[in-house]
Amino acid sequence: MLKTKITEKFGIRHPIVGGAMMWISTAEYVAAMSEAGGLGILASANYKSKDAFAEAVGRMKELTEKPFGININLFPAMTQIDNNDYLDVMADYGLKIVETSGHHAPEDLVGRFKDLGMTWVHKCVGVKYAKKVVAMGADVVTVVGYENGGATGRLDLGTLVLVPVVVDAINVPVIGGGGVSDGRGLAAVLSMGAEAAIMGTRLLATKEAPIHDTIKQALINASELDTMLVMRSLNATHRVLCNEAAKQCLVLEEQKADFAELYEVIKGENARLMFCEGQIDKGILACGQGIGLAYDLPTLKELFDRMVGEAEQALGRFSN
């Protein structure tokens, strides 16, 4: 067992955090992450009304008694309810772990986090931003390197550099990620001073992931070379699986297409069809380079337990 400041702070078995993933982070899937010994994070932005979010949280509480967190999305969105509504629901259910992520720190929400006795985790892209949110009262900072799937931030820093420079710069626990797919990656971020690893891409290739089996098989068959960067022209660079939708997006960007044209390719409705119907080229799929280390389709528990065993072995190689 790997005990760290994060496992102790959150009361979880393994120092593994499941990244909040739009469309995919259902209550059932997130609860399974927590049941497997990690910390599941429910994406509030998946729910477009206070009642829908409350229903999802209630379902989570039915499925697990283990700790889980809620992600508050600060990125621009086509439709988004007031984040205070999400916090109202969290308060009603006594939830104490809140994660924020986006282009800006949540100045208008920090007071409520503190008043409600929440542990505030903020996900950011570099030292300057980490220092800012710690000064504002963040209890934990999460950073993910350039290898990661989804939003890559603006600094293009790899995990091997990003994690330790942030660890050195602040005095609160750091969760690190970007390319973590097995126990060696977990051992690496812990050895760099992080107190836990955050994962997203590797969790897609698990039995519980609520996506079509065709998509899971495509991910298992992918290599570390099968990702690409899109949406840089929108100042919202994302690393995604290299498929026809991603290639079309890149062509449109090179042609300086307007947002309306790009939106028809990148919109969430396309991703939903892809995940539900197995149409691999229908939409863009956030995917990190660590997909090249996903060789099988375990349960979340099997994956987490295996990773911790591998990490213990890796960390112990040079102890004698």
Contact (Cβ atoms closer than 8 angstroms) between residue 181 and residue 306: no
Cα distance between residue 89 and residue 92, in whole Å: 5
Cα distance between residue 262 and residue 250, in whole Å: 9
Lowest-pLDDT choice from 203-207, 222-226, 271-275: 271-275
CATH class of 5-208+299-315: alpha beta
- Domain range summary for the chain, segments of one domain joined by +: 5-208+299-315, 213-277
What is the per-residue pLDDT for 317? Answer: 86
**Is residue 76 over pLDDT 90?**
no
Cα distance between residue 55 and residue 149, in whole Å: 28
What percent of the chain is predicted at pLDDT more than 70? Answer: 98
The model's pLDDT over 39-58, given as tens digits with 9 standing for 90+, comes to: 999 999 999 899 999 999 99
What is the per-residue pLDDT for 318? Answer: 79
Average pLDDT over residues 217-226: 97
**Is residue 302 over pLDDT 60?**
yes
What is the per-residue pLDDT for 69? Answer: 97
**Is residue 77 over pLDDT 70?**
no
Where helices occur in 116-212 by DSSP H, the ranges are 127-136, 159-169, 183-191, 201-204
**Is residue 78 over pLDDT 60?**
no
Please give the structure tokens belonging to residue 61: 């509480």
- Please choose, from the candidates 232, 221, 235, the residue with its C-alpha nearest in 3D space to the C-alpha of residue 291: 221
Q: Which of the listed ranges 29-33, 102-106, 233-237, 271-275 does the model predict with the highest average pLDDT? A: 29-33
The model's pLDDT over 9-47, given as tens digits with 9 standing for 90+, comes to: 999 999 999 998 878 889 999 999 999 999 999 999 999
The position carrying tokens 């495509």 is 218
Contact (Cβ atoms closer than 8 angstroms) between residue 84 and residue 112: yes
**Is residue 79 over pLDDT 80?**
no
The model's pLDDT over 241-281, given as tens digits with 9 standing for 90+, comes to: 999 999 999 999 999 999 999 999 999 889 989 999 999 99
Cα distance between residue 89 and residue 133, in whole Å: 24
Q: Return mean pLDDT, the chain.
A: 94
Q: What type of residue is 312? A: E
The model's pLDDT over 138-155, given as tens digits with 9 standing for 90+, comes to: 999 999 999 999 999 888
- What letter would DSSP give residue 155? S
Q: Whole-model pTM?
A: 0.95
Which comes out higher in pLDDT, residue 25 or 222? 222
Contact (Cβ atoms closer than 8 angstroms) between residue 57 and residue 93: yes
Average pLDDT over residues 97-117: 91
How many Cβ atoms from other residues are within 10 Å of residue 309's Cβ? 12
The position carrying tokens 């065709």 is 214
**Is residue 190 over pLDDT 80?**
yes
Q: What type of residue is 196? A: A
Average pLDDT over residues 129-143: 97
Please give the structure tokens belonging to residue 165: 């420079």
Contact (Cβ atoms closer than 8 angstroms) between residue 238 and residue 56: no
CA 49 to chain centroid, in Å, comes to 22
- What letter would DSSP give residue 233? G
Q: 117 φ, ψ to 5°?
A: 70, 30
**Is residue 320 over pLDDT 80?**
no
